[in-house]
Amino acid sequence: MNFNIRRNELVEIFSEFINILKDNPIKPIISGLKIESNSGKVTFTGTNLDINYIKTIYCETIEDGVVIFKPNLALEYIKLLDDETINLSSKNDILSIHLAEFTLLYNDNFPENLKLPLVDEIAKISPQELYKSFERTKFSVAPSTENLAINCIRTLFREDRISFVSTDSYRLTYLKTDNKSLLEKDFSIPLESVNILCKLIKDLNEDITIGSNGENLIFLWKNTYFLTKVTTLPFPNFDAILCGNSFSKEMEFNYNDFKSALKKVLTVARTSNESKNGAILEFKGKKLSISASSGKAKINQKVDMIKNGDDFKCSLNIKFLFEFVENLNNNVFIKGNTSSAMFEITEGDNSSYKYILMPLALRD
C-alpha cells in the first residue's frame, strides 16, 4: 500500500476513529483501523462491534493494498509535522508514515461486511438540527450502562415530526422537531453512539440520510457510513407522563435572572454532603427564594416572578434544573401542584420542549 494524503485530512480522520476504537483483549484486531488503498481512493474502516464507521476519501494512490494498525501514536506524531502532504506506505509488517514506522496488526479475523445496505430510508435531516436535538436531550440520559433501557435517547420518527426523549428516572426531557419522516419507527440510540455521532457531525455542512437495517440504525453523508446497534429493551412509557397533566401553580421567570441565580446556588449546593445539588425553593408572593447550604457555606438568591396559585415550598436538584434551563433562550415557566409531585418546566408556551423533574424530599 502506498498513497499521499493531506496532513490535516489525515489528522481529522484518525481523530474520528480514535473516538470509536477500543482495546479488545479477546479480539485485539478490533482495536485496529483498517486502511485500504484502491485506484485513487482510500477507505478507512473501524468498529467496536456496536458501532461501525467507514469513511472514503479520494487522493493520490501509488500502490493498492490493505493494512490494519492502531492509530493513536501515529496521530500524535502526525500532529507534530509541518508538511502539507503525508505519505503512507507499507512493507512486510511495517507502516511508514513520513519518517516514522508503526507496527501492523495481523489482518486475520477482521470483521467482514461491516457496511450493511440501508434497507429502509427513514428521514433526511440537517446535521445542525440533529446535533442540536441530541445536545438538548442527552444531558438527562441515565449515564450508567447498568440500565441500558434508559442509557439512550429514544428517537421517534413520524410523518410530521421527529421527537427525542431521554430520562434517568428522576427527570425526563422531551423535544419535538418539525422534521418529517418517510416511515414511522422508534429507536433507542445508546448514549455512547449519540456522543460519538455528535462529534462527527458537529461541523458537517450537508444533510444526513437516516435509515435502518434490522436492529441497526444507519447514518449516511458524503462518502461516510455510520452504523450503530440500537437498544431493544423497552423504553419507559413517557406518553403517560407528558399527557393529561393539570397544574394548580404556574411561575414565570426572566431567563437571564433565573439562570444566574441557579448558577450561583449550584456552587454551594454541589458541595453539600447531606443533599448533593439539593436546594430549597420558596415561591412566595412575587419572589422566589432559592437557598442551599453545606458544611462550608450558605447561599440565598431571590428572583422576581409572576405567579399564579398559592405560595408553596419545595426541594429540587438544582443541577438538574440548571441543565435544562441553560438550553433555553427565553422566559422560564415552572408548573407544579405540591412539593411532592412532579414539576414541568418549559420555555414560554413552547410545548415542543418539555422537562419533567421529580422533587427531592423536603427537609425542615
Q: Are residues 138 and 153 in contact, defined by beta-carbon separation less than 8 angstroms?
A: yes
pLDDT reported for residue 107: 74
Same domain? For 38 and 142 the reply is: no
Q: Is residue 270 part of a domain?
A: yes
Q: Across the beta sheet with 85-91, what order do the strands follow?
A: 60-63, 2-6, 85-91, 94-97, 100-103
**pLDDT band for position 25 (50/70/90)?**
confident
CATH number at residue 271: 3.10.150.10
32-58 pLDDT, tens digit per residue, is: 999 999 999 999 999 999 999 999 999
Angle, in degrees to the nearest 10, between helices 255-269 and 318-325: 150
Q: Is residue 343 part of a domain?
A: yes
Among the listed residues 107, 144, 115, the one whose alpha carbon sits nearest the alpha carbon of residue 31: 107
- pLDDT exceeds 80 at position 363: no
Same domain? For 64 and 154 the reply is: no
Q: Is residue 287 part of a domain?
A: yes
Question: How many Cβ atoms from other residues are within 10 Å of residue 225's Cβ?
Answer: 19
Same domain? For 50 and 144 the reply is: no
114-132 pLDDT, tens digit per residue, is: 999 999 999 999 999 999 9
130-178 pLDDT, tens digit per residue, is: 999 999 999 999 999 999 999 999 999 999 999 999 999 999 999 999 9
Secondary structure (DSSP) of 95-130: EEETTEEEEPPP-TTPPP--S----EEEEEE-HHHH
Q: Is residue 300 part of a domain?
A: yes
Q: Which residues contact 200 (CB under 8 A, 6 or more apart)?
A: 16, 19, 53, 224, 226
CA-CA-CA-CA dihedral for 306, 307, 308, 310, to nearest 10: -160
Q: Which of 103, 138, 154 is the last residue of a domain?
A: 103
pLDDT reported for residue 364: 60
Q: Is residue 231 part of a domain?
A: no
pLDDT reported for residue 133: 98
User: What amino acid is encoded at 318 in this protein?
Assistant: I
Same domain? For 88 and 132 the reply is: no
pLDDT reported for residue 240: 87
Measured distance CA(131)–CA(141) in Å, rounded? 16
193-229 pLDDT, tens digit per residue, is: 999 999 999 999 999 999 999 889 999 999 999 999 9
Same domain? For 164 and 254 the reply is: no
54-74 pLDDT, tens digit per residue, is: 999 999 999 999 999 999 999
Q: Is residue 28 part of a domain?
A: yes
Q: Are residues 17 and 57 in contact, defined by beta-carbon separation less than 8 angstroms?
A: no
Domain limits at 172?
121-217
Same domain? For 267 and 295 the reply is: yes
Q: Are residues 124 and 209 in contact, defined by beta-carbon separation less than 8 angstroms?
A: yes
Q: Are residues 237 and 167 in contact, defined by beta-carbon separation less than 8 angstroms?
A: no
The mean of the pLDDT values for the chain is 95
Q: Which of 40, 69, 103 is the last residue of a domain?
A: 103
Same domain? For 149 and 181 the reply is: yes
Name the residue with cell 438538548.
136
**pLDDT band for position 82 (50/70/90)?**
very high
How many domains does the structure of the chain reveal?
3
Counting DSSP H helices and E strands in the chain, the numbers are: 7, 26
Over residues 104-109, the mean pLDDT reads 84
pLDDT reported for residue 3: 98
Q: Is residue 111 part of a domain?
A: no
CA 243 to chain centre: 26
Same domain? For 146 and 213 the reply is: yes
Q: Are residues 345 and 336 in contact, defined by beta-carbon separation less than 8 angstroms?
A: no
220-266 pLDDT, tens digit per residue, is: 999 999 999 999 999 999 998 888 788 999 999 999 999 999 999 99
pLDDT reported for residue 24: 87
Q: Which of 68, 103, 138 is the last residue of a domain?
A: 103
312-335 pLDDT, tens digit per residue, is: 999 999 999 999 999 999 999 999
Same domain? For 9 and 86 the reply is: yes
Same domain? For 250 and 347 the reply is: yes
